[in-house]
Amino acid sequence: MFDGLVAVVTGGGSGIGRACVEALVADGARVGVFDLDPGAPDDPRVHGVRADVADRASLIAGMESVAEAFGGVDILINNAGISAVGTVEDNDDAEWARVLDVNVTGVTRTTAAALPYLRRSEAAAIVNVSSIAAGAGLPKRALYSASKGAVHALTLAMAADLVGEGIRVNCVAPGTVDTPWVARLLAKADDPQAEKRRLAARQPTGRLVTAQEVAAAVLYLASPAAGAVTGMSLAVDGGMSGLRLPARG
Ligand code: NAD
């Protein structure tokens, strides 16, 4: 599906991003992995770039090096993001600035760095990774939800700005996904196993989403098969946002 195409995945060193990199390569793409720690990929189809979505210069240099290695950039997956826990009283101004800088401005910086290359592509697509927190009120996620709501709004605005140039922009909105991120959150809980069961039960499918399931949705939106899809959000959340089931028991 991606033969001859080049993708850049931010946050491609772990979790959902890594699953996207693996799925894209398996489907024929060559991939630039932008991460604070991109690892040392031992595959000529993968080009690791130490890049920080909070640092514009690293993104511009990273896009240049991917284009030099693979001949261009067709697809951008804006996946890098960081967590924030708490109500509006729990995070100070510096933390608000830090998280919004990575989760929101990180998307705009990376996209601006990629656009000169995407404009030369016949199959240009951007997929942003939002969250169920953009559309559902979750407790103690004020800052994180604000950041992901902004990613959803940005997806629509970017799609409107770029549709005339043939560049599609969509997002995915995952529920709770079994990644190192969630493992870190669980490790802080009083009873990690009970907390994991609680998170799984919150999703109507009764389990956490897998990173591969999110990657499959990202790949669809990034692929030429979704050529008529732009400005959309695709929930990958085990039914959490859409279903209203009777209480169990
Ligand atoms: P993860 O922590 O496993 O991976 C995130 C990756 O992003 C890491 O490799 C990290 O080094 C990289 N990263 C962090 N800050 C960066 C920066 N400034 N510049 C470049 N790279 C950076 O997390 P994950 O669970 O795979 O999450 C990926 C995305 O999915 C995030 O945007 C997150 O908000 C979103 N998401 C996750 C879940 C979930 O339950 N795991 C649910 C909804 C949305």
Catalytic residue (one of 2, 34, 70, 144): 144
Distance CA 10, CA 86 (A): 25
Residue 7 scores a pLDDT above 70: yes
Q: How confident is the model at residue 247 (pLDDT cuts 50, 70, 90)?
A: confident
* 117 counts as catalytic: no
Residue nearest to atom 39 of ligand 1 (CA): 177
Buried b (16+ CB within 10 A) or exposed e, 201-225: ebbbeeebbebebbbebbbbbbbee
Whether 79 and 219 have beta carbons less than 8 Å apart is answered as no
Using the predicted structure, report yes or no on whether residue 82 has a pLDDT greater than 80: yes
d(CA 219, CA 77): 9
The answer on pLDDT for 41 being more than 90 is no
Tell me: pLDDT of 1 over 80: yes
Report the predicted TM-score, pTM, of the whole model to 2 decimal places.
0.98
- What is 6-174+210-236's CATH superfamily? NAD(P)-binding Rossmann-like Domain (3.40.50.720)
| Average pLDDT of span 144-165 | 98
35 lines ligand 1 (CB under 6 A): yes
> Which carries the bigger pLDDT value, residue 89 or residue 249?
89
* Residue 249 pLDDT exceeds 70: no
Question: Model confidence over 181-206: pLDDT tens digits?
Answer: 999 999 999 999 999 999 999 999 99
- What backbone torsions phi and psi does residue 248 show, to the nearest 5 degrees? -75, 150
Q: Using CA atoms, how far apart are residues 174 and 72, in angstroms rounded to an integer?
A: 29
CA atoms within 13 A on the CB side of 233: 25
How far does the centroid of ligand 1 lie from the alpha carbon of residue 162, in Å? 25
Q: Which amino acid is at 245?
A: L
Of ligand 1's listed atoms, the one at least distance from the Cα of 16 is 26
Domain ranges of the chain: 6-174+210-236, 179-208
Q: Is the pLDDT of residue 246 over 90?
A: no
Ligand 1 close to Cβ of residue 180 (< 6 A): yes
Ligand 1 within 6 A of 213 CB? no
212 half-sphere exposure, CB direction, 13 A CA radius: 3
pLDDT digits (tens, 9 = 90+) for 59-76: 999 999 999 999 999 999
Residue 48 to residues 7, 42, 69, Cα–Cα distance (Å): 12, 10, 11
List C-alpha distances in Å: 3 to 28, 35, 174, 193: 4, 24, 27, 42
CA angle centred on 59, ends 54 and 65, rounded to 5° = 155
Q: Is 19 in the pocket of ligand 1 (CB under 6 A)?
A: no
Q: Is the pLDDT of residue 222 over 80?
A: yes
138 lines ligand 1 (CB under 6 A): no
Question: Which ligand 1 atom minimizes the distance to the CA of 11?
Answer: 7
The Å distance, Cα 28 to ligand 1 centre, comes to 24
Does the beta carbon of 136 lie inside 6 Å of ligand 1?
A: no
The atom of ligand 1 lying closest to the CA of 182 is 41
Task: Find out whether the beta carbon of 62 lies less than 6 Å from any atom of ligand 1.
Answer: no
Query: How far is ligand 1, taken at its centre, from the CA of residue 114, in Å?
Result: 19
3-class SS of residue 30 = strand
